[in-house]
Structure 1
Amino acid sequence: MWTLPNLLSLMRLFLVPVLLGLAWVGKGAAFFWVLVGSLGTDALDGYLARRMNQLTELGARLDSWADLTTWLVLPLCGWWLRPAALMAELPWLAAGLGGYVASVLVGWWKFRRLIAYHTWGAKALSWLAGAAVLVFFAGGPGWVLRALTPFVLLSALEEVAITLVLPRWQANVPTLWHAWLLRRNGVELTAGSSAAPAPHADPP
């Protein structure tokens, strides 16, 4: 459990109440830099897990819980720190957040546990979303949240489709195509491995 990638994910979990507290008391500058640190650990833990060959099911689940809790509290933090700017983008924000939560709920309904696919689309989205929220909390325009919404919905739709296709819970499924190959070929993966198809998975 006590690998460096897992510790970084745990740290991101512990930063969630810190973010809430700073936003509640109106410490916008401190909140911004703690958010930078939180998003930095999000980018670093997966990279280190792959680099150090420490991909595990526990690590995937910790990372997913840290992502979920962080992204769910950010709208509330935005309400406390920049209420007018947030209200102007509320319909778009609600649509994106609704899609994200829906993908999580569908996964929980089918597998009774938090999904941890870490798809390529979700990884690209994490960079876009990280940049957008940093711009927003730095005092930038609110429309960056609006521009992010279509990408959030596309990523959520792919994760819902992966959940419906997979016969059982599986961490680290890069794309819907990989999920389909897993279902078609009955490929079993070790915990925390990427869902890459075998070179000769098709029957002769």
Structure 2
Amino acid sequence: MTYWTLPNLLSGLRLGSAPLLLLLAVAGQHQAFLWLLALAFLTDAVDGILARSMGQTSRLGAQLDSWADVATYAVTAIALLLLWPTLVRDEWPAIAGVVLSFTLPALAGLLRFRRFTSYHTLLVKTAVIATVIGLFVMLLGISVWPFRLAAVLAVLAALEEMAITAVLREERSDVVSLWHVLRQQRKA
């Protein structure tokens, strides 16, 4: 099996964009940061779709996607502090909710399975889409409400992920939902 698949390359590109995003934030480059962040989120949306449609899903691909997510989200949180400090001060509960929703499930997976989990549940996918849209709407100065609502959804997705980590006997990738895990365990 080859590791150099288009989906893996897109995830690698996203992972590699994290240091450049950080440099743009440190340099105070709001517009360039937003454009590169939009490109990073686009590759996040496309890599999984391509992997499934091309039959190129793999544990490495799922892990690479998760690593790229962690790097992108961490840099985005730092960039918010650097580029939009007033917004962070005003919207800290929603921002903290989103940050914790990505951090705590990752830590739970590390503690339980000694690796980042890559569940990619339906609720997580929905929360990520809502968060990305809400983030850009907020950063463009249109409204904070979509981000606030996305934060609630992100927290719910995190709770589901941590529950999945608690009930799984061994780490798995691409889990549809907690309900699916529980149903499979009842059948087994």
* Partner deviation per Cα, 1:136-182 (whole Å, 9 max, x = no partner): 33333344432221101100011011111111010000111221133
Equivalent in the alignment of 2:110:
108
Equivalent in the alignment of 1:197:
none
Aligned residues: 186
Equivalent in the alignment of 1:49:
51
Partner amino acid for 2:161?
Answer: E
* Partner deviation per Cα, 1:52-72 (whole Å, 9 max, x = no partner): 011111000111111111112
Equivalent in the alignment of 2:154:
152
Partner amino acid for 2:65?
Answer: D
Q: TM-score, normalised by structure 2?
A: 0.93
* Partner deviation per Cα, 1:97-147 (whole Å, 9 max, x = no partner): 223311111111111110000001111112111111222333333444322
Cα distance between partner residues in 2 of 1:47 and 1:175: 18
Cα distance between partner residues in 1 of 2:33 and 2:89: 20
Cα distance between partner residues in 1 of 2:184 and 2:118: 16
Please tell me whether the aligned partners of residues 119 and 161 of structure 2 are also in contact (alpha carbons under 8 angstroms).
yes
Cα distance between partner residues in 1 of 2:144 and 2:41: 19
Cα distance between partner residues in 1 of 2:70 and 2:26: 20
* Counterparts of residues 83-98 of structure 1 (less than 5 Å): 83-98=85-100
Please tell me whether the aligned partners of residues 78 and 137 of structure 1 are also in contact (alpha carbons under 8 angstroms).
no
* Counterparts of residues 73-92 of structure 1 (less than 5 Å): 73-92=75-94
Cα distance between partner residues in 1 of 2:79 and 2:87: 12
Cα distance between partner residues in 1 of 2:38 and 2:16: 14
Please tell me whether the aligned partners of residues 11 and 65 of structure 2 are also in contact (alpha carbons under 8 angstroms).
yes
Equivalent in the alignment of 2:176:
174
Q: Which structure carries more helix by proportion?
A: 2
Please tell me whether the aligned partners of residues 89 and 145 of structure 1 are also in contact (alpha carbons under 8 angstroms).
no
SS of residue in 1 equivalent to 2:174: coil
* Partner deviation per Cα, 1:39-84 (whole Å, 9 max, x = no partner): 0000000000011011111000111111111112212111111111
Farther-moved stretch of structure 1 (50-59 vs 75-84): 75-84
Equivalent in the alignment of 2:131:
129
Deviant stretches of 4+, over 6 Å = none
Equivalent in the alignment of 2:31:
29
- Is there any run of 5+ residues in structure 2 with no aligned partner, and where? none
Please tell me whether the aligned partners of residues 92 and 146 of structure 1 are also in contact (alpha carbons under 8 angstroms).
yes
Please tell me whether the aligned partners of residues 5 and 46 of structure 1 are also in contact (alpha carbons under 8 angstroms).
yes
Equivalent in the alignment of 1:138:
140
Partner amino acid for 1:126?
Answer: V
1:18 to 9, 15, 20: 20
Q: TM-score, normalised by structure 1?
A: 0.86
